Every structure is written in structure tokens, then in C-alpha cells.
Amino acid sequence: MKMMHTLSLLSLLLSWSSIVFALELNGYVQWNKLCPNYEALGSSRVLLDAGKMSGRVTRNGNFSIPDVPPGTYILSVLSHDHLFDHVRIDISSEPLPDVRSYVFGTPLLTPSSVSLPYPVVLIPRHQNKYFSPRESFNLLAMFQSPMMMIMVLTGGMMLAMPYIMKNLDPQTLEGLKGPQAKAANIQELMQSGDPRGRLSALLAAGEETKSSTPVIKSSAGPSTLQQRKGGKGNKRR
Amino acid sequence: MRCLRRLLLVSLGVTAWALHESDVGVVDWNTKLIGVPLHGSPHTAPVFHGDYILTATGNNVLAALNATDGSIVWRSIYDAEDPIMAFSHHDNSVSSLSGPGGSTFRTYDLETGHLMLEKQLHSPLDGRLHEPQNLGISLLRSADSSLNSTSFFTLTNGDSVTHLDHETGETKWTWNSPDQGSLVMYSHVIAHPSTVYVVGFAKSFASYTLHVTTLSATTGEVIASVNIPANIKDGLSEFLAFSSSPGPTTTACIAWLEDGALKAALLTPDLKGKVLGLPGVKYDRIRDFGLSTNGQFLAITTGGAAHVMHLDPQTSSLRPIWEFGDVAPSKSRSDSHFVGSLSRNGEPRVARVYWSNVHSKAVHETLAIQLSEGKGSVSGFAFPFQTLDHGVVRHVAFDGASTGETHENSRVLLTTTTGSIQLWQHDKMQWVREEALASIQVAEFVELPEKKIVTSHTAVDEEGYFERLQRQLSDAKNLPKYLANFARRFATGSYATVSASAASSSAEDTLTRDAFGFRQIIVAATSHGKLFGIDSSNGQVLWSRVLGLGWAAKVGGTIIPVKMFVTRTVSDAEGPQIVLVTQRRADNTLIDTVLFHVNALTGEDVREEDLSTSRHALEGFDAVQGPLIDVYMLPSENRTIVMLDEYLQVRLYPETASSLAEFESFAPSIHLALRAGAPGLRQILGHQVGLNHELSQFYVAYPTWTMSLPQHEEIHAIVPNTRGPIASIGNVIGNRATLYKYLNPHLTIVLTSSPPSRTCGIYVLDVVKGSVIYHVSVPAAGGVCDVQATLTENWLVYQYFDDELPGVGQSKGYRVVSVEFYEGNGPDDKTKSSELSSYSNKTLQVTAYEQAFIMPHGITAMSPTSTKFGISTKDIIVANRKNSIQSIPRRLLNPRRPKQKPTSEEQEEMLVQYDAVLPDDARLVLSHNYEVANVRRIVTSPSLLESTSLVFVYGLDLFFTRIAPSGTFDVLSENFNKVQLVLTVAGLGIAIMVTKPMVRRKMLRERWYQ
């Protein structure tokens, strides 16, 4: 009888020791803004290493992985749409596992000093965004680009110039006319194809720039220039 | 900093190609499937529950379908190591037992499929295997109205009963059989408010006896345990336990057959009762048909009649209440399926479905039983089940609640041999799901022909003036439409774009390709004996054919597809054709090699001359009497298929003189690697083929070299090189030197596992000489080799899980290793490997560049992209365990990524600095929001655009998309802004129009005043 008793005690001890050496790992998913509930998370699994041991996340966010023998494990979450941090789990003969943060891809040689609470808390870190926005046509954006702005400005100036000129008072106009008229003159000569006249006009223009005084009246330009000026003046009077 | 670098890397990878939200459903499609229901056992077979249909399937999925339209309401995918053993449904929840011996218990919400509870009942390692698998596993929910609580009783492993709380999953008590299943194997559990009856078999000489144990429902203590003498030969068809609970009390009863006589025993908690006998009638077998909790079961007499047996709890009597005649299969009708269900007011209804050869229709009979009056009435109708398209009915589920006075609403769910699920309401099929697609074995892309311009110029020479006018007028009738089309196209710019759907928009759905060849036919062969032609532009099944069994139709058998070859393409006169090579496994254990030669556009048999005969199953050609060792296609004009039978004889298809001559010309260059050797002493034998008329009339393969593997190393797979066009034979590196690719066409990967050393081997062999070009041994995580490898051109990529803690890196995780082979000893060393004789010593002059990367999640399949000319970069497409399909840009997997900051030379080569971690970036996910589960293979195919590769993924689900690894460089950019261009041009035009009169006026004035 006593023998029987010892035997049963022994078996009890054995079963107790087996309980100690395989632990149930518990944890839960902390709902947050990225993932507010089970519906958003979808069916997900929590894996140790390659997934030989795993547990599913239930509707209230809890999970448990039964019968985990001692060792060092990397805990990861298989979730279709959300990213979670990897966590390092060390299970020894102590009753509670050691949970530490783990930077993915780093060696396991030195455990991180950041100890995390047990049960394991998993926080959704990132929600997958699969799509890049299409670069669509936008009229406003098109006109906001500097190239477009320059084009529009020049176009506008070109159209508005005659009216601005008209509204300017005569004195400023006189001041402006000099270089403008010369430029027009050169253009005209180019078109008429008179090489001599073109040359002389160029020369005159060269002198003009050299003297750097835009007062036209004092300069002695070629006759064509004066004639043309006169013509314009006539009209204005 | 590290983050920044990774971001940069990702952006580099992504810029080439990006997925837009508007592309969803346009460039890709996804078919969600559940698999073919496990109809073999009432624990897993489909069942109606309100407007839901619940089932467990062969793909290890527990699913709820909407009975009205057949859509998936929810599904839960189980691991391969965790097979679904039983499920049961209750008011608003579904529970399952899965894993070896029923180790894991789960509960789901009926409407949403949300997992409410998961609990391990015993370690999967303690699970015992039985035949059939789910014998000794039972799940029962009992509602205790007095305590207002519900709880579960689970029978697992055939020897332990656990009482679980419904809400928390807390174990209230567990009872283990004292003999641990060695003597008594329990198979049934019946719950009574105060007592739990556990019934099973006890092994006896040459037969079984019955054993019943009663437990207290509150404490789990044994009340009584009794052995009932019985003489049962077959435990599955001669014994069942059932109960009847018309009121608050439950009467439990067991029934069995003893030498054809039906015997029954009513169970009481103290197990003091006597065995009742039903004399007079000899029964063949008894069966539970869905009403075992209502006191009814089916007994089939030796005379071929079926009796519906009923237990009357008031009088404690068991008697037949109805007889169905002529149940046995005969010439005029097939075997009958019986299924019972309760009507809306709780009366039993029994449906009988059989195929009538007389009417060529399926017949449905419904038996309505009025228990109170002890009467029954049968009424029936025939419905047009399409046996040519769907094979034979394998299982029937019946919705008793849909029955009424007439048959208008009565619904049945059929599961057929070809893997389809059909819901019939009266004689109309409401919907059909082709679940065989969840078990595709082989699939190939087939190009479609171009749209033909139909001309009406039949006899131009002979027609007169009026006839010609008439013809031209009729030809011109499409002109306004054409003009309108042209104007619309010009104005809106709706040309064929790469982001548009490839599906044909016209109403007359002709099988023609689109502008870029994105629309192709995917021909897929399933393990349920059905061949499908799927439109790659939208995933619709265009045609399907049932594969005929040939002579094996008499004995039964299955057809297992081995390989599929595209023997004729659109450029051939005959039109696209495929040859499907299968192994037919007849039920009398004979294995034959059968070929099916099919037109890929219509699914018609090419071999059949007479097309006028009525439609029937596709009949194959018995090419080889015996199993097949290897099969491949000659890369020549005729595309002859070469098969190697079990005696290593070469058999050709088609067996014509021209194909034989072609084979003769190819024979000297044929080299094969085959596995050989006894277990534990495996070898790989290289073979060549030769003809010796004295021995055989066929060419016979003879061994040329042997590679002996280390002891106990097992060969897992021999994966040949994925061949495709090679655009360049070298890479020009930064310093203007060239690395010449090692392009040996005879490379083959061999994957092995070596259990003693817990390693997996990856060999790259030259099959001509058997020389090992590359060999690596990687750790087998948990003793399991789960290595994925792919070899394309000179690039090998493989993945494994590294759990070697004492290693150098001391880290755990998935590793992806990228290896590239280059000729000679370094840059500018050229051996011309692609055209070198295999017997040259130079074939061994190889330099391998390799780099390992870390991936966050495991991979189930991988494949490189393939394009028309091979100019675009090759990305690797992987299916990961997160059920998504991802592309890994070639740039990130380049094994020559520098370890330090890239020098200017390296920058010129577009190399980026090495980073061990491959980014887990969502923008590289091709399948985006779709869930693509349990992927087995990824098939890629070129389109007409060099830039774009088509990707078809199969496993449990189907997924198709297209990918441009180097960006769509050969079409106008997606970002090209036609509107902007048109607006700018129009703006300039307006500016000219405005300024022109102004300039003219000015010039006129200048002329005046000059």
C-alpha cells in the first residue's frame, strides 16, 4: 500500500514537472486607432519561430500558445493588413516567461534591456497601405507649376502691353521708346535684307549701348531711324 | 539612419512600378474558394443551418456559405497539421475539433466567423491516429435549461471526455478512460441533463463487442461501466448510437447488427436494461442519416429496401416506420442517397436522391412523417442534374425547413465527384460553386488568336453592278459606328492602355486577344477529374470538361494530372492545343498513364474525328500501361511529348514516323537525372537514351553517372531550370569589365533532407555529367525541410528558416539567399558556357556570388517573372504566409550589393548598399486587400508587351495580376497627361488666333506710316 502511495506521488511529481517545463504563453492584442477591433484585424495568428507553435487571436484580442518548452523564441504576428513588432520570448524553468523587445534582423546574442510586461501585449504598429495615389490631372496643380506660371505671365504681358503703353504718360513713354524703336528698326532691316543698313543699324545700336544714355535725341542715328520717329510723333500729335 | 536607408531602398524598388487603387479588379482578379466538402463523415459533411450552409472541406477549411446565393459568408483556414475532425452548429455559433485525435477546440460566431474560443484539449503529439481519421472524436453541445447554461462535451482520442464551458472554454471536468484506449475505443457520446453516455467498441476475438460508460454530467464521475456482448464485424456500418428527446427527457439508445439481426439497447444511467431484438428482418447495414438526435436512423435490408427506423421513447420500442423499395443500384437507377432533416415544426423529413437512367434525370423523393399519427407520405419530382458536366452525386444535404405542402421551396445541396457544390430548389439549380479549382494540380497559360477581320468578298469576280453596290452598302453600314468610335477615341483618348481591363467589352464574346496579349486562357487540371479553361482577364470559367476514366469507369478510379504541355500555339494552323499527361489510379490498384489532347480554346477533344456525336466526358488515350517516371516535351517543331515508363523505355506522343525521326535527332543530347537507390542510400542517376533492337523496340534510358548522397539523405524534389529567352549573356560592371553569366542549359536543382544531421541540402547539378556546381546545407527548422528554391538563367534564389542559435549570427528567422553564377574566375573571364560542350572541363569554372537576406515571414511558393524576350529585369514573386502575394525587386536581391557605401562605379551599376533585412513594404504586395491562401504554385507568362509579365497564382484561392518589373517602358507612361498636352496645344492655337489680327493690323499700320 505504501509502495502504491509512493508511486502515485512519483507520478504526480512527474506530471507536475512536465507542467513546469512546458508553459502556456498568453497575451493579447491592444486595440488602438490603427486597429480598433477584431473586424479590422481579421483572422490572425501569433507564431513562435517558424510557426510550429502558434495560437490564433480570438474576438476579444486574446491569444494563447500551449505547451511551449523552454528556449528562446521570436514571436511574430501573421496578420494580413497590420504590422506588429517582433518580440523575444525566453522561457526557462521560472514560472513566468521573460518578454523583451527585439529589433528584427538583429542577433539574439545579447537580449535587449527593454523588458516588456507579461502577458505579452501586441500593439498594431502600422496598417498596410497597398496603393500609391495616381498622378491625376489637376487644372489648379497644372497652373501652379513655375513653368506654366512663366508661360501664362509672358502671354498675359504680350497681350496687355499695347494697353499699358497707351496708358503711360508721354514722358516715360519717350524714355522707353528709344531702345524699343531701335530693336524694331533692326528687325525691320533684317527683314528688308539691306546689308548695309543692317550693319549701320547694328553699329548705331552698339554705340547706344556704349554711351549707356538712353536719351535718343542726342544721338546721331541713321536717317531711317529719325524718319520713323518723326512718323510716330506725328501720329501722336 | 537605418530606417531612412530602408525607406530609400523601398522607394527605389517601388518607383519602377506601383499599384493604384483604381487598378483593383481591373488588372487583377481573385477567386475565393473553400475546397470540396469532406462528405465522407457526418461530422464534416455540409449541413443547412437556417440560411447558412456549413461545411468542412478537403482543403482544411471550415466555411459558412450563404444558401441563397452561394457566396462565402466566412471561412477559417486550418493548418495542414491541424486537420478538421468534426464540427457542430448551434443557434448562433459553430464549433470544431481539429488536430490529431481532436486536440484543439474552437468556436466561431455563426454570422461573422469571428473566433470566440480556442482551446487545446490535449497535445497534438498525444493524438492517436485511427482509421477513419475522425473515429473516436465527437462534439456535443448540451443546453441545460434548468441551470440556464450551455456547455460542450467533447470526446477526443477515443478515450477522454471533456466538459467545457460554452462562454469561457473553461474545463469543468475531464474523464479519461482507465485503459487509455487500448481496450475500448469510444466513438459516440450522448448527453442527458444529468448523465453522459459514452459508447464505444471493445476489441474481442475476430469481432467487436460494445462498451458503455455513464458519467455524471456535473462531476464527471463514473456511474456505471458495462460491456454489452455483441458480435460486430464492421464497426462503421453495423453500429450506431442515437437519442430521442421529445420533451425534457432524453432517451439514449444504441443499435447494432448481429449476424444481420438488428438489436438495440435502451440506456439508463445505471446501465441496467436488456437487449431488444427485432426479429424477422435481415439487415445489411445501418446508418445515421442526420436524425440521430431525433430517434431515427436508416437500416438497409439484405433484400435492397431501406427502412426508416424510429425509437418511440414513450413505449420504448424501436420499429420501422417507412420502407423505401429498390434501393440497391440497378440498371435503371443509381445508388440512393438518404438524408434526414427536421421541418419547421419539428417533424422529420427524409429526402432520397438518386439518378434514374430511364429518365436521364435525378429524382428527388421527400418522405414526410407525422409521428403523432404514425403516418408518412412520399412525393417526388425529377430534376435535370447535368451529369456530363458534374459527374455523379456524392453527397446530398437537405434543408428540411424549406419543405412545405408542395416542393416549390424544398432545397437540397449536392456535392459531386467533380468537386462542384450545387444548390437545387425544386428542379432549378440556384447556384453552383466549382470547388475543384481549389485543388488545381497543373495549369498553363495559352495565348489567344488575334481578332480576324471578317470579309464578305466571296465571289467578287462574278458579281454584277447591283450586287456590288449592295455588298458595298452592306459593308458601309458600320461606317457611322466606326466614325463615332473614332471621334470618341480621338476626343477622350480612350486607347488600349496597360491599366485597362483586358476583358472583351463587346457583347458577342469571341475568344480573341486584346491589344497587349493580356487576355489569355489559363487551362487548369484539377485532382477531381475536371479540366477548366479560365479567361485570364476576369477569372470566368470559359469551358470545362470531365476527364473520362476509360476502362476504369467500371471499377472506379481517380485521375491525377502530372503535367501539361502547350503543343500548338496560336501561330500554328491547328490553333492552340494542350496535352495533359495524367496518371489514372484505378480502384483495382492498376496505374496507367493517360493523355488528354484538347483544343485550348473550346475544350474539344483533338483526337476525336467525329465531332457530330453528342457531348460526353473527355476520353483519354492510354499511352503507357503503367506509371510514368518522367515526361517532357522536345523543344522542336512538332513538340513531341517524350514519356519514360517504369522500365525506362521511351514512349512518344504522337507516335508517328516524323516524331520518331525528330526524337532520333534529339536522342544524343537528351540527359535525364532520376532518383534511385534504397531508402537511406539514395542516389541520383544520370541517364541517356539509346536503341538496342535485341532488347526492346523502344529507346531505353541507360545510366551514365551516379551521384550517391550521404547516408539517410532523402531526395525531396528535382526542380529543373526555368527556361526562358535570355537577352544578354553578361553584365557590364562599373569598371567596364564584363561578368559573363554561367548559362549551362543542363542545370537542375535537387532538394534533399537529412534527418540525422537535421539539415536540408540544396544541390545545383549539371545533368550531363552529374557534377555539382553548387551545394549548400541549411538547417532544418524543427526537423522539417521547408526549402523553396527557384533557378532562372544563372540566378538561384532559395529560402529556409534558420533556427541555429549557436550559429554565427545567433538569430532566428527566414533567410532568402540569392546566388548568381558567373563564368570563370572573375570579370572578363569567358568560357562561353551556353554553347560549351558539357564534357569540357571548363564547365566547372564557375564563380558564385551570394548574399543572404532576412525576411519577416515565411514563403510557400516562389517564381521569377517571365517576359517575351527576357530584357526586363526579373523580379521574384513570392506567396507568403500572411496570405498575400508579394514581389521582391531584383535590385534588392542582387548578390553583388556592396557592403559599404557604393562607390561611383557601383552607383553606375545601380547597386544599392547591402541591408540584411528585406523590407516588408505594403506597396510591394501585388494582391493588396485580397486574401490568397495556401498558395501552392505561381505561374508566370509573358504578354505581348516586353515589359509586362502575367502572374497566375493557385492554391486554395486563385489570383491573377500583371506586373511590370522595369516599369511599362514600352507603352506611354501612365502619368502621361493627354489633357495637358491638348490644353497646351489648344491654348497656343487660341493665342495665335488672338494675336494674328493684332499683328496684321500693326504691320498694315507700319506699311502706312513708313
Q: Which of A41, A58, A87, A187 to mutate to test the interface with B (most CBs of B within 10 A)?
A: A58
Q: What is the reported pLDDT for B764?
A: 92
Percent of chain B with pLDDT over 90: 28
- Most confident of the following: A5-19, A220-234, B132-146, B384-398: B384-398
For residue B856, give the nearest of A43, A52, A76 by CB distance. A76
Q: How confident is the model at residue B974 (pLDDT cuts 50, 70, 90)?
A: low
pLDDT digits (tens, 9 = 90+) for B384-443: 998 888 888 999 999 888 877 777 888 899 999 999 999 998 888 999 999 999 999 999
| DSSP-derived 3-state class of residue B906 | helix
Which residues, in sequence order, are bridge partners of residue B524?
A: B443, B532
For residue A130, give the nearest of B882, B916, B929 by CB distance. B929
Q: What is the reported pLDDT for B95?
A: 92
For residue A137, give the nearest of B929, B979, B998 by CB distance. B979
Q: Which chain A residue is nearest to residue B80, measuring alpha carbons?
A: A52
Q: Do B115 and A59 touch (CB under 8 A)?
A: yes
Q: Do A64 and B21 touch (CB under 8 A)?
A: no
Q: How far apart, in whole angstroms, are the C-alpha atoms of residue B991 and residue A155? A: 8
Contacts of B949 (CB under 8 A, 6+ apart): B865, B866, B867, B872, B940, B941, B942, B943, B962, B963, B964, B965
Q: Which chain B residue is nearest to residue A66, measuring alpha carbons?
A: B120
Q: Which chain B residue is nearest to residue A51, measuring alpha carbons?
A: B858
Q: Do B811 and A128 touch (CB under 8 A)?
A: no
Of B114, B113, B21, the residue nearest B71 (C-alpha): B113
| C-alpha cell recorded at residue B739 | 561578368
Q: Which chain A residue is nearest to residue B112, measuring alpha carbons?
A: A39
Shortest distance between the Cα of B17 and any Cα of chain A, in A, equals 10
The owner of cell 514519356 is: B643
CA A150, A156, A158, A162 dihedral sign is: negative
Q: What is the reported pLDDT for A180?
A: 67
Q: Which chain A residue is nearest to residue B805, measuring alpha carbons?
A: A108
Which residues from B are below 8 Å from A224, CB to CB? none
Q: What is the reported pLDDT for B769?
A: 87
For residue B975, give the nearest of A57, A135, A234 by CB distance. A135
Given a cut of 80, whether residue B111 has pLDDT beyond it is yes
Q: What is the average per-residue pLDDT within B283-308?
A: 87
For residue B812, give the nearest of A49, A52, A228 by CB distance. A49
Q: How confident is the model at residue A237 (pLDDT cuts 50, 70, 90)?
A: very low
CA B931, B937, B939, B940 dihedral sign is: positive
pLDDT digits (tens, 9 = 90+) for B870-900: 888 899 999 999 999 999 999 899 999 999 8
Q: Are the CB atoms for B886 and B861 separated by under 8 Å?
A: no
Q: What is the reported pLDDT for B808?
A: 52
Q: What is the average per-residue pLDDT within A107-121?
A: 83
For residue A134, give the nearest of B20, B120, B784 by CB distance. B20
Q: What is the reported pLDDT for B953?
A: 94
Q: Do A232 and B1009 touch (CB under 8 A)?
A: yes
Which residues from B are below 8 Å from A79, CB to CB? 882
Q: How far apart, in whole angstroms, are the C-alpha atoms of residue A37 and residue B920? A: 23
Q: Which chain A residue is nearest to residue B924, measuring alpha carbons?
A: A130
Q: What is the reported pLDDT for A214?
A: 45
Given a cut of 70, whether residue A209 has pLDDT beyond it is no
Q: How far apart, in whole angstroms, are the C-alpha atoms of residue B577 and residue B574? A: 8
CA R_g for chain B: 34
Q: What is the reported pLDDT for B591?
A: 92
Q: Do A58 and B116 touch (CB under 8 A)?
A: yes
Which residues from A are below 8 Å from B123, CB to CB? 66-67
Global pTM?
A: 0.85
Q: Which chain A residue is nearest to residue B815, measuring alpha carbons?
A: A105
Q: What is the reported pLDDT for B623?
A: 87
Q: Which of A43, A64, A84, A148 to mutate to test the interface with B (most CBs of B within 10 A)?
A: A43
Q: What is the reported pLDDT for B532?
A: 93
Q: Which chain B residue is nearest to residue A71, measuring alpha carbons?
A: B805
Which residues from B are below 8 Å from A46, CB to CB? none
- A 10 A CB-CB count for B489 gives 11
Shortest distance between the Cα of B413 and any Cα of chain A, in A, equals 28
Q: What is the average per-residue pLDDT within B45-63?
A: 92
Shortest distance between the Cα of B431 and any Cα of chain A, in A, equals 27
Which residues from A are below 8 Å from B115, CB to CB? 43, 56-59
CA B660, B661, B662, B667 dihedral sign is: positive
Given a cut of 90, whether residue B498 has pLDDT beyond it is no
Given a cut of 80, whether residue B339 has pLDDT beyond it is yes
Q: Do B76 and A43 touch (CB under 8 A)?
A: yes
For residue B882, give the nearest of A56, A79, A107 by CB distance. A79
For residue A105, give the nearest of B782, B916, B991 by CB distance. B916
Q: Do B109 and A59 touch (CB under 8 A)?
A: yes
List strands edge to edge, sheet with B621-624: B557-568, B577-586, B591-599, B621-624
CA R_g for chain A: 44
Q: What is the reported pLDDT for B424?
A: 92
Q: What is the reported pLDDT for B144?
A: 63
Given a cut of 80, whether residue B71 has pLDDT beyond it is yes
Q: In which element (H, E) is residue B778 found?
A: strand B771-779
For residue A55, give the nearest of B118, B803, B983 by CB distance. B118
Q: What is the average per-residue pLDDT within B72-82?
A: 92
**Residue B554 or residue A224, greater confidence:** B554
Q: Do A56 and B115 touch (CB under 8 A)?
A: yes
Q: What is the reported pLDDT for B575?
A: 85
- A 10 A CB-CB count for B347 gives 16
For residue B858, give the nearest of A50, A131, A137 by CB distance. A50
Q: Do B977 and A137 touch (CB under 8 A)?
A: yes
Which residues from B are below 8 Å from A132, CB to CB? 14, 18-20, 923
Q: How far apart, in whole angstroms, are the C-alpha atoms of residue B567 and residue B638? A: 8
Q: What is the average per-residue pLDDT within B174-186?
A: 83
Which residues from B are below 8 Å from A66, CB to CB? 120, 123
Least reliable range by pLDDT among B91-100, B208-217, B307-316, B875-884: B307-316
Which residues from B are below 8 Å from A228, CB to CB? 1010
Q: What is the mean pLDDT of chain B?
A: 85
Q: Do B812 and A73 touch (CB under 8 A)?
A: yes
Given a cut of 80, whether residue B861 has pLDDT beyond it is yes
Q: Are the CB atoms for B762 and B748 separated by under 8 Å?
A: no
**Residue A2 or residue A60, greater confidence:** A60
Q: How far apart, in whole angstroms, are the C-alpha atoms of residue B412 and residue B394? A: 13
Which residues, in sequence order, are bridge partners of residue B593?
A: B583, B624
pLDDT digits (tens, 9 = 90+) for A19-41: 447 888 999 999 999 889 899 99
Q: How far apart, in whole angstroms, are the C-alpha atoms of residue B257 and residue B287? A: 11
Given a cut of 80, whether residue B804 has pLDDT beyond it is no
Which residues from A are below 8 Å from B998, CB to CB? 162
Q: Which of B21, B60, B114 to mutate to test the interface with A (most CBs of A within 10 A)?
A: B114
Which residues, in sequence order, are bridge partners of residue B558?
A: B585
Given a cut of 70, whether residue A17 has pLDDT beyond it is no
Q: Do B929 and A81 touch (CB under 8 A)?
A: yes
Q: How confident is the model at residue A230 (pLDDT cuts 50, 70, 90)?
A: very low
Q: What is the reported pLDDT for B432?
A: 93
Q: What is the reported pLDDT for A16?
A: 45
Q: Which chain B residue is nearest to residue A41, measuring alpha carbons?
A: B114
Residue B79 DSSP symbol: P
Orientation angle between helical segments A223-236 and A195-211, nearest 10 degrees: 80
Q: What is the reported pLDDT for A234?
A: 46
ipTM: 0.84
